[in-house]
């Protein structure tokens, strides 16, 4: 899998420190399962974070403490449970990614034949709405705007918007403002996980579907 779009450094930092909301954190975890580059970046951030915490809480460094600190940099401390499992080599290629298998997913709600959304239940309800979106070959999504930041990770297939083409594993960040209407790219359906703060604002007649879709 070749990945070209990664979470920004601020998102990775928030993820590593546990400050990211549940939905974006799930999107990030799915990307990390597929992206060795970002896994290494998060591991380094966690190691540095652990050392800084030790420095704040410990007595002045003596020679032994310095050795311990260096050892921790070389061997990052164990991560919380949600990040401890080794990346699943089958992620994205054989069903749902590992991080998603632990989640409760609501019923599929169809927009058109081949196009549906399904809520991903949050572990910690907040302002973010998180859902799976499936669209068939060649379909265009509903035109919509964002009320706040939106993070998307592609699980299979690809889609295109004005800024580029996004494929399985890619992570896309968007901000409020500027409605857009992505389209499925290539000759297969596209499945992605989207987490949007405040939900999205569907435009045109399709907005009548919004209460039903719960996006
Ligand atoms: Zn990455």
Predicted confidence at residue 75, as pLDDT, reads 54
Q: Name the stretches of the chain with pLDDT < 70.
A: 1, 50-95, 178, 200, 203-215
Span from the CA of 35 to the centroid of ligand 1 (angstroms): 5
Contact criterion met (CB below 8 Å) for 168 and 30: no
pLDDT, position 181: 79
Q: Torsion angle, CA of 98/102/108/112, rounded to 10 degrees?
A: -30
**With contact defined as beta carbons under 8 Å apart, do 21 and 85 qualify?**
no
200 CA distance to ligand 1 middle (Å): 25
Q: For residue 111, report the distance from its CA to the centre of ligand 1, in Å.
A: 31
Question: Domain spans of the chain?
Answer: 9-92, 100-213
100-213: what CATH class? mainly beta
Question: CB under 8 Å to 13, separation ≥6 — which residues?
Answer: 45
Rg over CA atoms, the chain: 19
Going from the Cα of 151 to the center of ligand 1, the distance in angstroms, rounded, reads 13
Domain 9-92 carries which CATH code? 1.10.10
CA dist 92 and 31 (Å) reads: 10
Q: Tens of pLDDT along 76-100? A: 544 444 444 444 444 455 567 888 8
């Amino acid at each position: 899998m070749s990945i070209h779009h990664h979470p920004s450094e601020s998102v990775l930092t928030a993820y590593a420190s546990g400050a990211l909301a549940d939905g974006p954190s799930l999107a990030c975890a799915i990307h990390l399962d597929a992206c060795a580059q970002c896994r290494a970046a998060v591991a380094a951030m966690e190691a540095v974070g652990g050392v800084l915490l030790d420095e704040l809480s410990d007595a002045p460094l003596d020679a032994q403490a310095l050795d311990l600190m260096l050892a921790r940099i070389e061997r990052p401390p164990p991560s919380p449970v949600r990040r401890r499992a080794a990346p699943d080599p089958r992620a994205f290629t054989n069903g749902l990614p590992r991080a998603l298998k632990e989640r409760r997913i609501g019923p599929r709600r169809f927009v058109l034949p081949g196009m549906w959304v399904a809520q991903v239940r949050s572990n910690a309800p907040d302002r973010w709405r998180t859902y799976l979106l499936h669209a068939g070959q060649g379909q265009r999504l509903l035109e919509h705007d964002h009320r706040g930041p939106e993070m998307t990770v592609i699980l299979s297939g690809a889609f295109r918007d004005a800024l580029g083409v996004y494929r399985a594993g890619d992570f896309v960040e968007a901000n409020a403002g500027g409605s857009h209407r992505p389209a499925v790219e290539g000759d297969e359906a596209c499945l992605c996980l989207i987490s949007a703060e405040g939900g999205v604002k569907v435009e045109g007649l399709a907005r009548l579907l919004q209460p039903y879709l719960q996006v």
